[in-house]
Structure 1
């Protein structure tokens, strides 16, 4: 079950279209990327994703492992970012999310060090 949930989430993220990910979220969902300020709601999350996507050329996730306990999912991934200079940078990330009774994500958190993505 956790693998299916994780696959659905990362397939949406990897489309590079914020709307594909946001459709998995509750209207008042909260998203926190690393140590950035929380983004709340579809509009703020879409804007935040667009701003982030403008700094890279693409991305893809490989699920290393995932766990689901009741409404909570934890996924360890290897994320390969296509940099704007044409090079790839791969990093390990952990995403944690909680879903409501309707199956929509209410809280989504990403823990990753993006330094290699932006290194000169």
Structure 2
């Protein structure tokens, strides 16, 4: 099985552009990032991502493996975060998302420990 769906999504995520990312989402999609409360709706998700992105200088995903099962995609990734001081931190993450019949993501969940990004 290929990881085309995951690759397409992470290419957009790695542009560091919340407005572009939310175009992959259904209007009433939900995003749950780590242990934060779920955020619902494109605008709220874009605002939430903007707030998070203001705390880092960039990010890049390397897909370790991914699975597609019906409308669900599961992707294990190694994410390289660029800190505001220019240094880099790698963390492992798992993202799971579900798409509707129109191909837009309806529910996106990210399982990651962000503590290493903010540890000095």
- Which TM class, normalised by the smaller chain length? over 0.9
**What is the number of residues matched between the two proteins?**
120
State how far apart, in whole Å, the 2-side matches of 1:78 and 1:92 are.
5
Unmatched segments (≥5 aa) in structure 2: none
For the residue of structure 1 that corresponds to 2:65, the secondary structure is strand
RMSD: 0.9
Runs of 4+ in 1 over 2 A off after TM superposition: none
| Alpha-carbon spacing, 1:97–1:55, altered in 2? closer, same or farther (3 Å) | same
Q: Scaled by the length of structure 2, what TM-score is found?
A: 0.98
State how far apart, in whole Å, the 2-side matches of 1:115 and 1:2 are.
31
- 1:2 shift after superposition: 5.4
Q: Deviations over 1:44-103 (max 9, x none)?
A: 000000000000000000000000000000000000000011100000000000000000
Asked if 1:115 corresponds to 2:120, the answer is no
Q: Scaled by the length of structure 1, what TM-score is found?
A: 0.98
Residue correspondence of structure 1 range 1-120 to structure 2 within 5 A = 3-120=3-120
Unmatched segments (≥5 aa) in structure 1: none
